[in-house]
Structure 1
Amino acid sequence: MARIGYARVSTTDQNLETQINKLKAEGCEVVRSEKVSGASREGRSELATVLDFLRPGDELVVTRLDRLGRSTRDVLNLVHECEQKGAHVTVLDPHVTTRGEMGHLVITVLGMVAQMERRFIKERQREGIEKAKAKGVYQGAKQRIDRTAILDLYAKGIGAAAIAKEVCCSRMQAYRILNEIKASDRSR
């Protein structure tokens, strides 16, 4: 029987160290961690690795339930998958485990709270953006892809696939940016 820890933060500028230390202090022999949103399971390769690794009698340990997921359905599906493998889930804060029926009830309620919290966060974010727009200070999200480089490469006659490779983005992103640039040029 192994205790396997899973730590997650949503953004790259957040720190995993506190979660990892708590999981190790709880006796987790293996701790997997990642910096990715908990809104869905998409792109959470470390979580997939943990789920693949679980054996009967193992325990998946997380510091808080929202580290496992932000959707009640997703959390319950993860708990179900663990149980199908004969493993169980333990949350450290508040301390609850799926070893008993009461634990299932508490995890369901905590999952619902995590989902509500995500909705509240999104609502506050939307309100903040609206206020910033009203003040004229909202500049939108930071662009992750160098649009000028894409435009320069396109002007040199380089195709979208080669551009995508050059600027390290998907071909679809390159096409989307090129189409946005063309549309804004037409509207001028």
Structure 2
Amino acid sequence: MGELVGYGRVSSRTQSLDIQTDALTRAGCKKLFSEKMSGTRTEGRKELERMLDYVREYDVLVITKLDRLARSLPDLLKITARLEEKGVQLRCLDQAIDTTTPEGRMTYQILGAVAEFETNIRKARQREGIDAALAKGADSPFKGRPATITADAVNAAIAETGSKAGAAKKLGISRDSVYRVLKG
């Protein structure tokens, strides 16, 4: 008999994993993997990779919702193939999916396609809103967040640390932000 292994994910650092973690624990998962990262692609999702390396034959991967595992059908199918290759089943708590049956696999694939569709629709709506705001020109409410670091502060940090990377670390910003401030 295998182990129940839980995987939870939220899209941003400000979101809480508590609801998923509680549900996975109540479902009997002893081992949990969780992360705060976008689900639109699998690259860079370290906890997903750790979980996929950890699970073994007869284990059951438990998730709360299908979109916590993947947001695109190709990624979903790729993850499913890896699980099947290892002899691992999938249980989705909120959508009653069980990949041990042909019906469950079909439901899994249909819901994966719906999740991908929802992601694409949301992106299209967001892009339409941004384009409409930018079309307003100078009166546009879409101007981005005002800069909090000045070029003088960046130059002083570079002089103090001896590098742009050091300045970024000292100021608590990314290297890209350092270059952007110096360019602008």
TM-score by length of 1: 0.82
Distance 2:84 2:173 in 1: 38
Q: Quick one: which amino acid aligns to residue 14 of structure 2?
A: D
Which of 162, 166, 170 is equivalent to 2:170? 166
Q: Which moved more, 1:148-157 or 1:50-59?
A: 148-157
Gap runs ≥5 in structure 2: none
Deviations 1:71-90 (A, max 9, x none): 10101111110111111111
Q: Please, which runs of 5 or more residues in structure 1 have no aligned partner?
A: none
- Shift in CA distance, 157/95, structure 1 to aligned 2, threshold 3 Å: closer
Distance 1:63 1:142 in 2: 38
1:70 aligns with 2:74: no
**Counterpart residue number, 2:10:** 9
Distance in 2 between residues matched to 1:13 and 1:67, nearest whole Å: 16
Counterpart amino acid of 2:42?
R
Q: Alpha-carbon deviations, 1:45-98, whole Å to 9, x = none?
A: 111111111111001111111000101010111111011111111111210111
SS state of the match for residue 16, structure 2? Answer: coil
Deviations 1:73-128 (A, max 9, x none): 10111111011111111111210111122222111111111111111111222233
Query: For residues 25 and 150 of structure 2, what CA distance do their matches in structure 1 show?
Result: 43
1:49-128 pair list within 5 angstroms? 49-128=50-129
Letter in 2 for 1:152: A
- Counterpart check, 1:153 vs 2:157: yes
- Aligned to 1:125, what secondary structure does the other structure show? helix
Cα pair distance change 1:141/1:101, threshold 3 Å: farther
CA distance in 1, matches of 2:146, 2:7: 29
- Secondary structure at the aligned position of 2:116 is classed as helix
> What is the aligned partner in structure 1 of residue 47 from structure 2?
46
Cα distance change of structure 1 residues 118 and 142 upon mapping to structure 2, 3 Å threshold = farther
Give 2:143's aligned residue.
Answer: 139
Instruction: Give the CA deviation at 1:29.
Output: 1.4
Cα contact 2:157–2:171 (8 A) shared by 1: no
Q: Once superposed, which parts of structure 1, at least 4 consecutive aligned residues long, lie more than 6 Å away?
A: none
- Aligned equivalents of 2:106 and 2:149: distance in 1? 48
**Residue 125 and residue 151 in structure 1: after superposition, are their counterparts in 2 closer, same or farther (change >3 A)?**
farther
Count the aligned residue pairs: 179
Shift of residue 151, structure 1, vs aligned partner: 3.6
